[in-house]
Amino acid sequence: MRLCGISNCDTVRKARAWLAGNGIEIPFHDFRKSGVTREMLEEWTGKLGWEALVNRKGTTWRQLDEAGKAGVNSRESAIELMLEKPSVIKRPVLEVEGRILLGFDEREYSETFKK
């Protein structure tokens, strides 16, 4: 089990607060401090699809020029962008029991952890 994201992200904070409030201790992997690996991204895109992982609503995406945005049109190009700019990854990413949960949904976390 592992929770991945960026520590100052509001959604990551909500997920961490929910986990702590429910007495669930999970290691946290900060993309900015510890980076993200190709292996992580290949696993996540394999389970979720690359489109789900690229956060097109965030600041990092909006700051890309039109050519940069247009160039993200396949799994490989999305992985390259996420390796270069980890803050473009939708977060948090929760790895639990062989599953990958993307974003924070209290109901989904409650069902996953039977809380």
In the prediction, which pLDDT does 45 show? 97
Helix 38-48 vs helix 75-84: crossing angle, to nearest 10: 140
Paired tokens of 88: 């473009």
**Is the pTM higher than 0.95?**
no
Enter the DSSP assignment of 25: -
Paired tokens of 89: 């990854």
Q: Hey, which bits of the chain come out as E strands?
A: 2-5, 28-30, 93-96, 99-102
Domain count, the chain: 1
Query: What CATH number does residue 45 fall under?
Result: 3.40.30.10
Q: State the residue range of the domain holding 105.
A: 2-113
Strand order in the sheet with 2-5: 28-30, 2-5, 93-96, 99-102
Q: What is the pLDDT along the chain (115 residues), one digit of tens a residue?
A: 999 999 999 999 999 999 999 999 999 999 989 999 999 999 999 999 999 999 999 999 999 999 999 999 999 999 999 999 999 999 999 999 899 999 999 999 999 998 7
Show which residues are catalytic: 9
